[in-house]
C-alpha cells in the first residue's frame, strides 16, 4: 500500500549532496499505478517499478529542469536504476522514482521499510544545475535591458533541458537585442555573482518590492515558506530547482537566437 506522507526534498536544502540514506515507504509495479501516474512515465512496462522514499536526493522533473537519474542500493546489495523522477499526480507531495531492479542473477527487490542509499548521476546534475542557473541569468539580463523597452514585458516560463534551453517573455523582442543580451549575460557570468538559496514568506517579497514574484500559495504546504533563488546583484526567482553556487560556474553561456510568435518572444541559449 502506498504511503501518503510527503517526501522530504533533501536536494532543495543541500544540492551538493551526491548520495543520501533513505527509507523505502512504498514500492509498486508500474502496472499498479493510477492512470494519472502511469501517464507520467510513457515508457513504462511490466518490468518497471515506482518507489517512494521518506526523503530524496533526486530532483523530479519540473520547473523546466529534467529529473535526476541514478541508483538506489539496499544494504543487501540489491540495486534499483532510477530512470525518471516525477511528483505524484495523485498523492500530494510524494516523489515517484521510476525504474527497474538490476541486480544480476536475482529477482530480489526492496521491501517497505528497507534502508537504501540513493546515488545521483553527478555529471548530469551539474549540467542541469548550470543550465538552470544560466536560465535565470539570461532572464535577469533580458529584464534589466528590456523591461522599460518592450511594451507589456514580463518573464513567462523557461526550459532548462540540454539542447532545448530557452526563456520565454511577454512582448516582442527584436533581433537587434541579441548582441546586448549576450553582453549582459557575459557581464553577469564574469562578475561571479553568488547564487543564494533562501526561504521567504509573502511579507519578505513585499518588503523588497517584489510583489510580482509572490507564487501561488497552493504550491507549498500550509505554514511553509517559498523557496527562492537570489542571484545577488541581479534578480530573485521563486524556484525549487538545483543551482550552481555562483554565476561563473555556469560557464560560457551562449545566446543562440530570438524567435517571436503571437506577441511572445523566446530566447534560446546553451552552456559550454
Q: What's the pLDDT tens digit per position in 3-39? A: 578 999 999 999 889 999 999 999 999 999 999 999 9
pLDDT in tens, 33-72: 999 999 999 989 999 999 999 999 999 999 999 999 999 9
Q: What percent of the chain has pLDDT over 90?
A: 86
Residue 2 reports pLDDT greater than 60: no
Mean pLDDT of 101-105: 75
Q: How many CB atoms lie within 10 A of CB 36?
A: 10
Ranking 8-17, 134-143, 169-178, 261-270 by mean pLDDT, the lowest is 8-17
What is the per-residue pLDDT for 270? 98
Task: Report d(CA 254, CA 186) in Å as an integer.
Answer: 9
Residue 151 reports pLDDT greater than 90: yes
- The DSSP annotation for 202-223 comes to HHHHHHTT-GGGPPPGGGS-TT
Quickly name the fold that domain 8-120 has: Elongation Factor Tu (Ef-tu); domain 3 (2.40.30)
Quickly name the fold that domain 125-271 has: 3.30.980
What is the per-residue pLDDT for 229? 96
Indicate the pTM of the whole model: 0.93
The helix/strand/coil state of 2 is coil
pLDDT in tens, 84-93: 999 999 988 9
pLDDT in tens, 197-206: 999 999 999 9
Task: Report d(CA 119, CA 72) in Å as an integer.
Answer: 6
Q: How many CB atoms lie within 10 A of CB 22?
A: 23
pLDDT classification of 106: cutoffs 50, 70, 90: low
Average pLDDT, the chain: 93
Residue 107 reports pLDDT greater than 70: no
Query: How far does Cα 247 stand from its chain's mean position?
Result: 17
Domain ranges of the chain: 8-120, 125-271
Residue 147 reports pLDDT greater than 50: yes
Task: Report d(CA 219, CA 226) in Å as an integer.
Answer: 8
Mean pLDDT of 131-158: 96
pLDDT in tens, 225-260: 999 999 999 999 999 999 999 999 999 999 999 999
Q: List the one residue out of 185, 186, 172, 159 whose CA is nearest residue 259.
A: 172
Whether the CA torsion 154, 157, 161, 164 is positive or negative: it is negative
| Sheet bearing 195-200, strands edge to edge | 195-200, 226-231, 235-238
- Identical topology for domains 8-120 and 125-271: no
What is the per-residue pLDDT for 104? 62
Mean pLDDT of 80-109: 88
What is the per-residue pLDDT for 1? 43
Q: List the one residue out of 157, 151, 154, 125 whose CA is nearest residue 18.
A: 125
pLDDT classification of 77: cutoffs 50, 70, 90: confident
Mean pLDDT of 204-215: 91
Task: Report d(CA 205, CA 200) in Å as an integer.
Answer: 7
Amino acid at each position: 500500500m502506498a504511503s501518503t506522507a510527503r517526501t522530504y526534498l533533501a536536494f532543495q536544502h543541500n544540492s551538493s549532496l551526491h548520495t543520501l540514506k533513505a527509507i523505502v515507504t512504498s514500492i509498486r509495479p508500474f502496472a499498479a499505478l493510477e492512470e494519472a501516474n502511469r501517464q507520467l512515465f510513457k515508457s513504462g512496462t511490466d518490468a518497471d517499478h515506482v518507489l517512494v522514499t521518506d526523503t530524496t536526493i533526486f530532483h523530479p522533473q519540473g520547473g523546466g529542469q529534467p529529473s535526476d537519474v541514478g541508483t538506489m542500493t539496499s544494504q543487501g546489495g540489491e540495486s534499483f536504476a532510477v530512470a525518471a523522477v516525477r511528483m505524484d499526480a495523485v498523492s500530494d507531495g510524494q516523489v515517484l522514482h521510476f525504474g527497474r531492479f538490476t541486480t544480476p542473477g536475482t529477482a530480489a527487490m526492496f521491501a517497505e521499510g528497507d534502508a537504501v542509499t540513493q546515488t545521483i548521476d553527478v555529471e548530469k546534475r551539474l549540467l542541469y544545475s548550470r543550465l538552470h542557473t544560466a536560465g535565470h541569468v539570461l532572464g535577469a539580463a533580458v529584464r534589466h535591458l528590456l523591461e522599460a523597452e518592450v511594451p507589456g514585458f514580463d518573464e513567462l516560463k523557461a526550459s532548462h533541458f540540454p539542447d532545448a534551453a530557452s526563456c520565454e517573455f511577454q512582448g516582442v523582442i527584436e533581433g537587434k537585442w541579441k548582441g546586448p543580451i549576450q553582453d549582459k549575460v557575459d557581464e553577469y557570468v564574469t562578475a561571479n555573482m553568488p547564487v543564494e538559496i533562501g526561504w521567504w514568506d509573502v511579507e519578505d517579497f513585499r518588503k523588497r518590492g517584489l510583489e510580482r514574484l509572490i507564487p501561488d500559495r497552493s504550491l507549498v504546504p500550509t505554514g511553509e515558506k517559498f523557496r527562492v533563488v537570489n542571484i545577488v546583484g541581479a534578480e530573485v526567482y521563486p524556484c525549487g530547482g538545483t543551482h550552481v553556487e555562483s554565476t561563473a560556474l555556469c560557464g560560457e553561456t551562449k545566446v543562440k537566437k530570438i524567435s517571436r510568435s503571437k506577441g511572445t518572444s523566446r530566447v534560446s541559449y546553451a552552456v559550454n
